[in-house]
Chains A and B, each alone.
Chain A
Amino acid sequence: MEWMVWTTPTAIFFSVIAAMLAGMTAWEVTSPSLERKGFLPIATTRGDRLFIGLLSTAYIHLMVVGFTPLSLWLALGISILWMLILMRWG
């Protein structure tokens, strides 16, 4: 795998994504998700909310990196909080 020029942070990043997908699959098998309407303007399933969360998380990180001097850890913190809110009430 040397040609893929792995680094520890990217390895952790992809492991977390893979773990999320595996976790979501296991969760879906044990208790299938129902589509429901939260504060988002559209009805979503759990998977939809995870996708929306990941996509908005990417944008949060880009905003913080590109346009503020703040630390990336702050972006990560905000993202995790946003993800939890979205998964629970979205």
Chain B
Amino acid sequence: MNKVQNNRAWWLILPMLLLVAFSAIIPLMTVVNYSVQDVFDANTRFFTGAEWFKEMLNDPELHAAVLRQFAFSLTVLAIEVPLGIGIALLMPKKGWQASAVLILVTMPLLIPWNVVGSIWQIFTRGDIGLMGWSLRELGYGYNITASPVDAWVTIILMDVWHWTPLIALLCYSGLRSIPDAYYQAARIDRASKWAVFRFIQLPKLTNVLVIGVLLRFMHSFMIYAEPFVLTGGGPGSSTTFLSQSLTTMAIGQQDLGPSAAFSLIYFLIILLVSWVFYTAIMNMQKDNKKEGEA
């Protein structure tokens, strides 16, 4: 059969392409231009070649920030994913309780980033904050402005509090879509709760989990407002993550060349990780389809 190829419909995406060019592609090209020059003002600029890239790639502070960023992202993933699955499994399945629990669980997701930061900033203060005050009364010298460990634990707690609901919601919807027949078959086999989880629920959750992990990784990798409000990157630079280093460099010090080079490196890391996740999802779906056909 000869299929007539008619691709004229592609012209319909032209307006969108123009918008994206205006808002993303052209600014990105400008960043590339900045990254190879030392720009002082509109008329004074010097070509520096790959100098900024060399400097950024060898900057020990940025190395530390990259390591901190990966440590943070992997830690929150390692806590939020199992916790989210657990919460989803415990949530009631029907009736008014289901709606009530859903609303309660979703609440943290509705709060803007810097408000979350402010809530936790007050919550952890030693003099007026509930958590800070209680911990001090219990005899622990809790202080996020002086102890890097306290600051880290608090930021991770805050992120878990803010974003575990997302994983829980995704898993909850994934669990609801498993047909009853699977559970009935498991009951006939007298499968244990663990076996039901391991061989029915977890495999059926794979797709939503991949999306959840991808979203959480991207989000946590670009985290800015929450730690900025809570700790300001301190004590020292122990909670300064990548986007904050970048902002300090670009806005605070007006070092446009180095920060442009750094942005491009940051962009390449995110691009690589997103592509790996995306390819993994696509291949998983392909494999699932093949299994379905077989």
- Majority secondary structure, A binding face: helix
Find out whether the CB atom of A7 lies under 8 angstroms from the CB atom of B57.
no
Counting chain B residues whose Cβ lies within 8 A of the other chain, the interface size class is 20 to 34
| Cβ < 8 Å to A, chain B residues 19-34 | 26, 29-30, 32-34
Q: B42 to A3, Cβ gap below 8 A?
A: yes
Whether a CB of chain B sits under 8 angstroms from the CB of A81 is no
Rounded to whole angstroms, the CA-CA distance of A66 and B54 in the bound complex is 5
- Contact indicator B33/A4 (Cβ below 8 Å): yes
Residues on B with C-beta less than 8 A from A67 are 57-58
A-side interface residues, number (CB < 8 Å) = 20
Q: How far is the CB of B37 from chain A (nearest CB, A)?
A: 6
- Judge whether A34 is part of the interface by a CB distance below 8 angstroms: no
Report which of B36, B39, B57, B275 forms a contact with A55, defined as CB distance below 8 A.
B275
- B36 contacts which of A2, A7, A42, A59 (Cβ < 8 Å)? A7
| Known contacts A4-B26, A14-B29, A62-B57, A55 near B272 by CB under 8 Å | yes
B268 near A59: Cβ-Cβ < 8 Å: yes
The chain B residues found within 8 Å of chain A, CB to CB, are: 26, 29-30, 32-34, 36-37, 39, 42, 45, 47, 49-50, 53-54, 56-58, 265, 268, 271-272, 275, 279, 283
Residues of A within 8 A of B (CB): 2-7, 9-10, 13-14, 42, 51, 55, 58-59, 62, 65-67, 72
